[in-house]
Structure 1
Amino acid sequence: MASVNRFIQFNNETIDTKLLHQMEMLAGALADAPYLKVTTRKLIEFRPSEASVSISVFWRHRPKTIERNGYLSDVYLLSAGYWRHFNIKAWLRFKGAAAELPNLKEQLLLCAEEFRLIEKISKERPGTAQAFTIRESVYVDYHWDQYRQNRQKGFLADAFLNAAFLRLRGEEVPDSEAFEPLFFLWTALFDARSTADSAAVVERVLPRLEYMLESDTVHTYYTFGETADKAPPYRYHEGIEPEEESREEEIETIEEWFQSWHRETEISEAPAMEYELERGDSSYAEGGREDEGSGDIQQTAKGDSRGDHQEDNDATDQRMDSEPKKAAGKFGAANDGVVYTEKRIEASKDQRAVIEGWRRKQAPYVRALLRELKKRMTQRRQDVRHNLNAGRLSRNLLPLLIEERPKPFYRKTAPSKELDAVFSLLIDGSASMIDKLDETKQAVLLFHDVLRGLNVPHDIVLFYEDAYEASDAAQPNYFEWMHKLEDGSRDHAEEIVSMEAHEDNRDGFAIRWMTDRINKRPEKHRFMLVFSDGEPSAYNYAENGVVDTANAVSEAKKQGIEVLHLFLSSEPTTDEQAAFYRMMYGNKSVSADSLEQFVEQTLRLLKRTLHLVIQSG
């Protein structure tokens, strides 16, 4: 797990997840493509294989108004401009023609298309004018600065591109007499109505540029992203006949290009999954099947006994959960390649003395909290509230005659004897937790003992990703159970003490996985606690991991699950770290400023949430 407080301060980039989520929702709405994701990269670009468009980090570290409007202008350009009004066929024909200055050639066309599309969007959607005005103002200053630097360094191709941008905005560019005949041709872009028109203008300018310039551009100001002739992969598997003819289609717009990738992904995954379900095969299962007959369905069942057969149930549980499963789009697009395994943690049998020592130390806190909560529950069942406007009608009806505004009703609070709540605890199992394991185990043990004492169902799970086995093809993730909801009040202290630190952490995936599990529960109050000591860090899960985690928390809250976060730190928490975690978890993130505070903060979280459950019971 990467630390939020990095050594090189200028690398300590954080992203406003709420803002990026807003941009993603806007892009999806403008493009009428709910599957569309928004990421950040150096320049705006298209990445259909990831179903994403990228807005530019050019707008970072600027005043908030400029930053927000800059991102908005990128989204408008990508999803309301290029999406339907940029012609792929014209672009491919243009790129396919031989050229001595290929980089300058492509960047000139993208510069011309940006100008054309901004004009088009501004007329069709007047509400975009402010964002584009700010965009143009900032970029004019930027290209002026770049023009001066490129002239000074002798990068004439780059200088021409800067000057071409400025001339389209009505700027007079000094020291550009040699380029004036080209600018006369260049201004024909004011009449361009399509990508083909823009390409024709660039093609008229290019031969003269190739005669005048000795080298291509050094810098990149415009990029398209993935190559437009890159076709979506077709995935064959046994039992499905290829239908090449059905895949041949003319793609003219970026919208069609993205849809072909999106459609092909859905089509290729669906029959493959269906085939695996029908055959019962899994490429990830160990050993495979010996023959067709071994795949016959066997009836199995698991009881909730707390008697002599519980060990047998655990063994069955271990066998059932050991087979890896595919995320396959179920837990967020950033986790499509995840393959996850659920299993019971292997309990260490020689830790009884350690457990007893920790429990002796925690016993006063546990007893006090249980006593307080049970007292509140008893009061809640016994309290009767009189003089109400609604409720049960009292036997004393005299107030109806003698009072101007009588309140003859009463209400007796009588909740169920057990708390109508369910808790889940997700524990970050990344390598950076290794120096905090003992304190974390004690906090988890306290969590376990308090909820057992109240007979509240709860999950305790360690989550991590195997960094050494992760690749583009698959990212193995593991959930190690210490206690399951189905275990009731069984004591799993040995399992808690047996947890170990591993490699990486994919927080957004773990939260979505647990959300899916809690959603199946009938309890009224549902809480998820996340113990972690840093930001998400996994394979291809850097900046997008922060966004994915924030979105996962937001989705859980919308489904009625309260997500709480405890930041575990061996040093005092900085304002920057606190702001970073609020960005992902909102105001439900608290921190332990020292190792000694882990148990104290866990106790405080439990006390606060359980009080809420009792009060609303």
Structure 2
Amino acid sequence: MSEKFILFNDERVDPSLIMTLTDLAQLLREVETVKVNFQKFAYFDLAENTINVAFKWKHREREEEMKLLKSDTILHAIGFDHTDLDVVEEVLDEQFRVKSFFQQLFMMIDEFRLMHLISKERPFTKKFFDVRIRAKLKENESQIKFYQTKAMPTDELFLQIEHTLLTDNILSFHTMFFTELEYNIQLALQSFYDLKNTEDSANLAIRLMLLIEPNLTKDMLNEYYHIPKLAYMNAKAAKKANLDKAKQDVSEMDESESVQTKQRDIETKSGAYLETEVTEGSNSNNIKENDREGDASDDITEMVMGKGKTKPPQTDAEGNDISDVVGEENINTKIIWKETVQDDKSLTIYNAYKEDVLKEIKTLVNVINKSVDHEVNAKRQGLSKGKLSRNLTQWFLDDRKRVFYKEDQKSYKLDATFMLLIDASYSMEDKLEETKKGIVLFHETLQQLSIRHEIMAFSEDGFEADKNIQPNILEQIITYQNSLQHQYSPNVVSYKTGEDNRDGLAIRIAGNMLKARQEKQKFLIVFSDGEPSDLIMNQMVL
């Protein structure tokens, strides 16, 4: 689910403004499908392929407004490629007492790093960033005056650091805290001009936090800089998926070349690679006296062994043999795998259903977050804070002097996966809308918690089923790999019902899929009216 900014008025955004920003975004990203949207905070959502610009730049003079919105577009269109998402994830995992202060401090430092980097790479962008800095400075000075009268030291200290970066004058930094802290912060900020990457920004933020945190009693009241956690996690997952696909393509290419080479080697030999002679009918010397006569559809190797036709193995979506899993009672089933296809109305319907269950989503998020086990991070070495390591060689070998470690600790991630199994038989037709709303509820909840999951519908083709073969359709609505990518969410409302259903078969296959997952806790949830109906059961009733 995207992190949306809720509009409480009917204001409409000028279409020409959106078109101008979209053209700029497509030019910078070199992707024709990238979009521009308005949100409370600016960021790039890779999964949605959307650059979000900040709504706060609206309601200014036309020229200033345009330059500020373009500065957002430039910053996130180019800056995203210079942001290390692994480092951002480490920042989110850091366990400072004033967590919001630390995360906003990191984002502020990294934003200034990116502005300097982009200005050097593309000098034309400097005029937009100059307008941005002037607007931010005006806003910053107004906020500092306000918080000085309200005695809110945490927000005031943050704004004083921002003021120092905006004015590009480290010596101008001052604080209500004691002089020694003021001097140490000025000293730490000197390294701001040497930042090369996201990790450097994180290290500077951590260094400042070690100085500042002992003097703070409360966390930030307001949010000035925002980490789009869900968008960044989805982007990281998408990048990993693309990398895995690229590796798979290379592997398949190598395998194809190997097969072609082997075939060429075979063709160069004098004789046939494998030759088998069989005479058809009862006179064949290879067929035993009591065996049946072969026909044209028999496999030649089976004829040699005295066998007739055999059934092909039943496979899962990845082509693995699961004949043992489905059991002897389902020996005549033919498993057909398909993927859900969205139509023009899918997104509209999905959003409407999501609105209907928003309240329930919040409740379920809290329930699952409290009930399900969290992942445990392994012991981390080479940190800038924590427990002092016994091995102090890094003190002499590492310029960053990272000689601390942290023991295993709970992660914000939940160590769980879910499988939602949907009865798609005709008896569910009159319950379809409520069923889909229930699926939307679970899907949105699991996305918010970043829990990977699968959603699969099952039905049996009653019209084609006979005693020899019973086609069973397993429709992958949401796969494990794309479960956190928002563009697939409308799949949830796009599946159709079939005729019959074979609950036991579907549950066996779903259980086998869950078994292969690495998560500690595995949950199987079945949406069904409890009325199984297939060819065998119907014959028993008759």
* TM-score (norm. length: structure 2): 0.43
* TM-score (norm. length: structure 1): 0.38
